[in-house]
Structure 1
């Protein structure tokens, strides 16, 4: 497979998952934000923007600015519209590899971005529409593409982005202190109903954090997502050696997963920021290692004439 095609498929997975995760977080927080006084809106809006790795430019950064930055700004890959646009552009570059159904879904989604009102009610409907479209993209990728190297690159990108998004959300204790309950934290990851069925009478932020971090059966938990990434890397490079791993990315992801899975702690909430910082660094390092191994372009050799 050409490196440019592999890179495009990897980033389709990442960008679609980024749009999905951002839509979930924005959807859960819209109603709460709209009911807050302006002074508190500025504070919570800045905290939500911080989850995405950005900072507000001005002190009066409020709800309308947040909606534009996280939902509608097509120039920013951190926004929903920007991420879906980038996914569509990568699908265009890999047009000969992705299925026609997947391309048409991404293309239709791109043209549908401008058909939504940009107020609070419109954004609420927009988020639900995005969740439906990203679910359709993932379903079409799973059912209309061969599960070969190309599909593995897409799953690898999706898994790393999913682990990173969940870690970013769990690393935001300020949101809990400012009124975001553990129930809403679970809903941001689409995990509330699964959590209730699994834990039943158990409740509280520590149980919720443990579920989103360590549950081996829930697809959006950090451990599950890292496991998916590890399996994809193994399929892409199944070479065997008796000592260690040839693939740096697989070593990085495996170390992050096993540290979480086998680390016993009596106070998970106190150590949560440290754990989540480690996960985010591991995702970034794994992405860099994947780029170096599979996507990095060799420098073109230039012909140098003989010097007389």
Structure 2
């Protein structure tokens, strides 16, 4: 596979996952800000924008509406939800020969209908727009699994999706760290991660910080847990590595993923909440390092040897 197509598929996976998870985080945050009159709106908005990687605009009052304008609707910012969908669409446009028609049509239609979804949201509330994005990214993920050959291209897309999922789930937990404590706060984390129903069935409704953190970070069966996403990225990256593992993984990205996965696999779950911030920061650093390593190893490898004509200057004897 051409490295430019592999890179496009990797970033399609990352951009669509980020748009989905940002919509989830923003939907929960907006609901809390609108429903809880005791919330300090300005500090809450500042915290959410910081968690999502944005800088609050200094010349604008920090409200629910300024938050959605900046994070969801801003077409001039490639980090916004609209910008992410647009970036995924442009990568898909450049990789049309390696994706299915259904995948392209889904992304293209999603992007073209963002304006109408925004108009509905301005009349009915941000939930309309955010629900649209969540539904369309879920459709794209389903079409990818159903219509794209499960070959190298599929592995690159899943690696991108999994790495981004780890980073965004960590951000969801960071978003909780700045809010009020209590069961309602942890339930909001589960809702943002799409984990509330599975968690309740697994733990019979017993909701406390340790169990929520353990479930979101360590659960091996829930597909949106950090452990599951790390394992998925590790396995798909291994499928792309053609070198035999004679003395362990040769890829730095695989090594980093394996270390992060094993550190969670054998951690004492009871200690997670005591030093949660350190664990989360380490995972975010790992995601950045993995992405840089994948780019260097798979998309921008060292240049080929440049042959010279020095031998031609030798006299023929």
Is the contact made by 1:162 and 1:222 (CA closer than 8 Å) also made in structure 2? Answer: yes
Aligned-residue offset at 1:166: 0.4
Aligned-residue offset at 1:299: 6.3
Aligned to 2:277: 273
Matched positions, count? 306
1:19 aligns with 2:16: no
1:244 aligns with 2:248: yes
Deviations 1:29-56 (A, max 9, x none): 2222124569811111111112212221
Structure 1 residues 44 and 230: alpha-carbon distance in aligned structure 2, compared to 1, 3 A threshold: same
Query: Runs of 5+ in structure 2 lacking a partner?
Result: 309-317
Aligned-residue offset at 1:179: 9.5
Is the contact made by 1:44 and 1:178 (CA closer than 8 Å) also made in structure 2? Answer: no
TM-score, length basis structure 1:
0.92
- Stretch of structure 1 that moved more, 288-297 or 259-268: 259-268
Aligned-residue offset at 1:246: 0.6
Q: Which of the residues 145, 150, 163 maps onto 1:147?
A: 150
Structure showing greater Rg: 2
Aligned to 1:184: 188
- Stretch of structure 1 that moved more, 185-194 or 72-81: 72-81
Aligned to 1:105: 106
CA–CA distance in structure 1, aligned partners of residues 217 and 38 of structure 2: 33
Q: CA RMSD in A?
A: 2.5
1:69 aligns with 2:70: yes
Structure 1 residues 233 and 299: alpha-carbon distance in aligned structure 2, compared to 1, 3 A threshold: closer
Structure 1 residues 110 and 234: alpha-carbon distance in aligned structure 2, compared to 1, 3 A threshold: same
User: How do 1:1-308 residues align onto structure 2 when only pairs under 5 Å count?
Assistant: 1-36=1-36, 40-58=40-58, 60-115=61-116, 116-117=118-119, 118-119=121-122, 121-172=124-175, 173-177=177-181, 181-296=185-300
SS of the counterpart of 2:109? helix
SS of the counterpart of 1:181? helix
Query: Runs of 5+ in structure 1 lacking a partner?
Result: none
Deviations 1:273-293 (A, max 9, x none): 111111111111000000001
Aligned-residue offset at 1:57: 2.9
TM superposition outliers: structure 1 runs of 4+ over 4 Å: 36-39, 177-180, 297-304
SS of the counterpart of 1:157? helix
Is the contact made by 1:64 and 1:119 (CA closer than 8 Å) also made in structure 2? Answer: no
